[in-house]
Amino acid sequence: MPNSISWLFPCPVCGVPQEVRSSKKDKPYITCNSCGVQVFVRGREGVQEFKRLLEKAVREGTFERMKETIRRYRLGCNICGTQFWIEPKLVETSFFDGRLRGVRCPKVECGAVNEWKEVA
């Protein structure tokens, strides 16, 4: 990878930033311990384009903005620990006054309503 900077790239499944590592042949890859996804970049053109993508994202602050989005909109269920993205269909409101009660866990067996907390 370019220079000796620690590069990060978001997991394509859960969005959590992962360290970009280099194989023995200096080809970049990531492994997401959260969801088990592995991404390998192969071919000279692919490796060069991936490096350009990383450099551009760092210059433009793309990954910093993505981290903020993940912090705000990716939740973990307080009961079963399932990680999930907030979606309108998961929002729970009060039947009586329409106030936001929280966000329901998407795991059918759980269904817990997790309290919404504003992140500063």
Q: Are residues 58 and 99 in the same domain?
A: no
- pLDDT, one tens digit per residue, over 14-34 is 888 889 999 998 899 999 988
Helix (H, G, I), strand (E, B) or coil at 2: coil
DSSP string, 41-53: --SHHHHHHHHHH
User: What is the domain range of residue 83?
Assistant: 77-114
Q: Are residues 17 and 67 in the same domain?
A: yes
For residues 29-66, one letter each, b for 16 or more C-beta atoms within 10 angstroms of the residue's C-beta and e for the rest, the string is: bbebeeeeeebebeeeeebeebbeebeebeeeeebeeb
Q: What is the mean pLDDT of residues 97-103?
A: 88
CA–CA dist 84, 108 (Å, integer) = 13
Residue 2 lies in a domain: no
Q: Are residues 66 and 15 in the same domain?
A: yes
Q: Which two tokens stand for residue 7?
A: 């590069």
Q: Name the band, by pLDDT with cuts 50, 70 and 90, for residue 66.
A: confident
Sign of CA dihedral 56, 58, 61, 66: positive
Strand extents, DSSP E, the chain: 8-10, 17-19, 21-22, 28-31, 38-40, 74-76, 83-85, 91-93, 100-104, 113-114
Q: What is the mean pLDDT of residues 46-65?
A: 88
Q: Name the band, by pLDDT with cuts 50, 70 and 90, for residue 120.
A: low
Q: Name the band, by pLDDT with cuts 50, 70 and 90, for residue 99.
A: confident
Q: Are residues 48 and 97 in the same domain?
A: no
